[in-house]
Each structure stands twice: as structure tokens, then as C-alpha cells.
Amino acid sequence: MKRTIAMLLAGGQGSRLNILASHRAKPAVPFAGSYRIIDATLSNVMNSDIENVGVLTQYRPGSLINHIKTGESWDLYGKNRGAMILPPFKGKGDSSWYQGTADAIYQNFSYFNRFDDIERVLILSGDHIYTMNYKELVHYHREKNADVTVVAMQVPFEEASRFGTIITDDANKIIGFEEKPKNPKTNLISLGIYLFNKATLMEELKKDALDENSSHDFGRDILPKLLNKNIYIYQFTGYWKDVGTIEEYWQTNMELLNNNNKLDLEKWRVTTNLQTNKIADRNPAYISHSACVKKSFISDGCVIKGEVRNSVLSPGVIVEKDALIEDSIIFDDTIIKKGVKVNKAIIDKNVEILEEAIIGTGDLPGIGNRIYPHHLYTGITIIGKNAIVGRKVEIGRNCIVSPDAYVEKKRYNTGEMVF
């Protein structure tokens, strides 16, 4: 793997995650209690013995940069190892932003050109949850004598239109692409993981940079022009989840609570930076005699005196006596006061839910959110970072409470925006 370098695209805005990604990059959104979404991909890099990775940031990169730091948490630190943050640098103002995934790599030729012996460039996305040994991908790529290998997997046909689909021949050689087709011809989708021979990548990105009609995107512009080359799929059959929507994010967290879940974080050695939010300095979780915890993740620093069912709690969450948390995801240092009821909600960091408030009231799924009906429609309510929900306030389903809001009105119906 010494002749392979990784380029990790981590600048996504994550607009479909709504307020969860309004003040942080999508890869930095908390996941499974103490982790961030990007930890899955960084751990894949670590477990595949790739020694160097460039992390391309853009939108709200502060928390992501603070989380990755030197890369030491993923054994990417040392004389011949490293994780380097690569923000946009070309031009000024808006023009300095990467214009697409291909443009992001193009702007950073200088990073992987510093490694004289690099033969292959592995392009990754930082906003998916999956476990993959890239060694097997590299072996397959070399065995096929490929110029490019695209990682693909089969999904149900009804889901294929959400992705870029791939048409292949009997030898797994790619003969066509369709970008989010309304009526897909195949259920084989691209996972946004590409292994390029370095020379091929540089040649094609230089051409693309000169094309005024290009959107500078790998899926739309680069790959469809490579059908005359040796371009193959590597079919992946392991665990992979797109967590780009509120529903997918919630579902993936909930799946972790099942005994037969296919993502074993410990077995695959998924690692995080324990200094982020001082996770390493927190006391073990405290669960009092009055508490009841069933089928839940409870992180270090939590204090549980109420009832928690089928939920994921990040470090430092406090659940007071007679409170009930069900089917929910609670981020760091949120306080759930006495008598509060929370059902099917995602609550961001440093939120206070005051006594006897109810979050997620009404029948499921209820009316979709009035402003973001495509974001919230299955009954999930989101509470933004630093918000305070007052005593005995009732908030319905598919609601959004803005970050920093102070909520005093006693009743908000399903689908409302709360400012």
C-alpha cells in the first residue's frame, strides 16, 4: 500500500441534514455516541495500511479540523505517515471554493506529487458509514490492469434512482453511466470511491479543468469520458450506508442498537479522536438506581436517572429522574430535565429541555415539515444546538427548533418551524 495515497473529500455542506450540518461540515456530524461520521472512512484508511491521506475541507471546517488535528488518532502521524488538511486556496472570495469533486483534487496536485513513488490515488468520501479493506480493492485493480476502478454495490431498484448507476459487461468492465436516472436500467450504484492510476488521474483532470462546460464532478464529467480506457467496477458486498438525509442518519444510528447489526465498530477498530470534546477526560457513565436503560448506547460522562429506551446518547448527556427518552439521538452535554418526554428526536449539543416538556407529540408520522417537507416527513423532530425548550412546552413531530432558540410558547403543532 506504500504506492497508494488517499484523498478524502470532506467539504460537503450536507444541506439535507438541515440544522445538524448548518454550523459544521457533514463529515463532522456526531455519530454513534462518541464518533463523527468521518471516523468510519479514516478508520478504513488506518485499517488498510495507507500511510498518507489528504483531507479536503471547505464548508464550515472548524470542528472537522479540530477533530482530525494531526491524524494521530488514526495512526496517521510520523516520519512517513500523515493526514494533511487541504482547504481551498485558489483565487479570492467565492472563487476559492472547490467547484466540484474533480476540481478539489485538481487544485491539490501539489500534495500527492510530493510523493515520488506514488502510483495510485484513492479518492474517498468522508460522509458515508462503511467498513472496507482498501487492500482488496488495490489488489483487484492491479489484477485487472485497470486505469480506474469504481467501487459499486447493488441496491433495491426502487433506491437506485437516488444514485449514479453503472452499466457493465460480463467482465465487470464499465460500458455506461447514468446519473440519478428516473428509470434506472441497473441497480448497480457507484459508492463514490475511485482508485485511479496517478498518470490517468492527472491527465483527465487537466483536460477537465480546461472544459468550460464541465461541472468538474467525477460522476458527471470525469468517469463518463473514460469508457475507452480500462475502467472496471469492484463490487462491494459489505456494510455501506449513505447518511445524507435525516431519515438515513437516524436509521443508521438506530440499526447499531440491534443485536444482529452488520456494523461492528469495535471489531473493525473504528477509531475517534478522544480529545474532541474532552471525551478521554470524562468519567464513566453513571446510571442511578432509579434509572431504566434498555437497548441504548450510553457514552462516557452521561448521568442517567430517568428512562432511556432504544436511543443513542453522546458524552455528557444528563437525563433527570422521571424523564423518558425513546427512539432518539442526543448529542453532547444536553440536559434533559425532570419529567421530560422525548420521542423520535435528534437533539444537538448543549441543549436544555426544561421540566415536563414534551418533544415529539402526536401520531406518527404526521404532517411533514412545512418548510422542509423533503427533510422531515417520518416523525423525527430536530432541536438545534444551544437551544432551550421551556417548562411544559409541547413540540409536535417533524418540527425544527432553530439553534440558540429560547422556546416559551406552550404548544407547537406537527410540522412547525420554531425560531
In a domain, 262, yes or no: no
> What confidence tier does 99 reach under pLDDT thresholds 50, 70, 90?
confident
In a domain, 59, yes or no: yes
- State whether 126 and 78 are in the same domain: yes
In a domain, 100, yes or no: yes
- State whether 137 and 78 are in the same domain: yes
Count other Cβ atoms within 10 Å, centred on residue 182.
6
Look at residues 234, 255, 276 and tell me which one is the last residue of a structural domain: 255
**pLDDT tens column, 243-291:** 999 999 999 999 999 988 888 898 899 999 999 878 889 999 999 999 9
- State whether 290 and 238 are in the same domain: no
325: domain CATH number is 2.160.10.10
- State whether 32 and 129 are in the same domain: yes
pLDDT of residue 1: 81
- State whether 225 and 315 are in the same domain: no
Distance CA 159, CA 153 (A): 12
- State whether 136 and 210 are in the same domain: yes
217: domain CATH number is 3.90.550.10
In a domain, 273, yes or no: no
- State whether 8 and 148 are in the same domain: yes
Mean pLDDT, rounded, for 114-132: 94
Distance CA 297, CA 313 (A): 6
- State whether 236 and 310 are in the same domain: no
Q: Which of 259-263, 308-312, 365-369 has the lowest mean pLDDT?
A: 259-263
- In terms of residue numbers, what domain contains 184? 4-255
Mean pLDDT, rounded, for 337-346: 98
**pLDDT tens column, 8-40:** 999 877 789 999 999 999 999 999 999 999 999
- State whether 345 and 395 are in the same domain: yes
Residue 347 and residue 323 in contact, taking contact as beta carbons nearer than 8 Å: no
Query: Grid coordinates 470525469 are at which residue?
Result: 222
- State whether 323 and 404 are in the same domain: yes
**pLDDT tens column, 376-392:** 999 999 999 999 999 99
In a domain, 272, yes or no: no
Residue 296 and residue 311 in contact, taking contact as beta carbons nearer than 8 Å: yes
pTM above 0.85, yes or no: yes
> What confidence tier does 180 reach under pLDDT thresholds 50, 70, 90?
confident
- State whether 244 and 323 are in the same domain: no
In a domain, 338, yes or no: yes
Peptide bond just before 365 cis, omega within 30 deg: yes
Residue 295, phi-psi category: left (phi > 0), alpha (psi -120 to 50), beta (remainder): left
- State whether 127 and 230 are in the same domain: yes
In a domain, 276, yes or no: no
Exposure string (b/e) for 118-138, b if CB count within 10 Å is 16 or more? eebbbbbbbbbbbbbebeebb
Distance CA 19, CA 380 (A): 13
Q: How many CA atoms lie within 13 A of 267 on its CB side?
A: 7
Name the residue type at position 291. A
pLDDT of residue 93: 47
In a domain, 50, yes or no: yes
pLDDT of residue 61: 87
Look at residues 216, 236, 255 and tell me which one is the last residue of a structural domain: 255
- Secondary structure of residue 388 in the 3-state scheme: strand
As beta bridge partners, residue 374 has none
**pLDDT tens column, 191-250:** 999 999 999 999 999 999 999 999 999 999 999 999 999 999 999 999 999 999 999 999
DSSP state of 224: G
Please count the structural domains in the chain: 2
